[in-house]
């Protein structure tokens, strides 16, 4: 998620979804979510800045044993600035 939005990995984050009983479940790693097609969850990054993204599982591809870590398969539009109005360049 952070790579897709070009964000630093320097803030707390969590995933949350609603169980089939209607309870809001929060976790800090998406592997803890019972993934089924159509599963929706919210990703919250930077609890102070409150960057929230709605995420839905659209498909599950066959296992690729050569893939060592998760990667971005598709991206749409431009990522917003993480810290708008600041200049990240060194002086």
Q: What is the pLDDT of residue 23?
A: 92
Average pLDDT over every residue of 83-91 = 61
Summarize pLDDT for 20-72 with one digit per residue, the tens: 898 998 887 766 667 788 888 888 888 888 888 888 888 878 888 888 877 77
Phi, psi of 6 (to 5 degrees): 55, 45
pLDDT score of 77 more than 50: yes
Distance of alpha carbon 52 from alpha carbon 5, whole angstroms: 12
> What are the sequence ranges of the domains in the chain?
1-63
Pick the more confident residue, 85 or 89: 85
Q: What is the pLDDT of residue 19?
A: 84
Q: What is the pLDDT of residue 91?
A: 42
pTM reported for the whole predicted model? 0.65
């Amino acid at each position: 998620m952070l790579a897709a939005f070009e964000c630093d990995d320097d803030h707390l984050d969590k995933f949350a979804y609603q169980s089939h009983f209607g309870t809001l479940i929060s976790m800090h790693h998406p592997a803890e979510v019972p993934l089924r097609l159509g599963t929706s969850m919210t990703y919250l990054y930077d609890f102070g800045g409150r960057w929230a993204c709605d995420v839905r599982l659209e498909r599950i591809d066959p296992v690729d044993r050569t893939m060592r870590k998760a990667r971005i398969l598709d991206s749409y539009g431009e990522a917003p600035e993480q810290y708008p109005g600041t200049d990240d360049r060194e002086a």
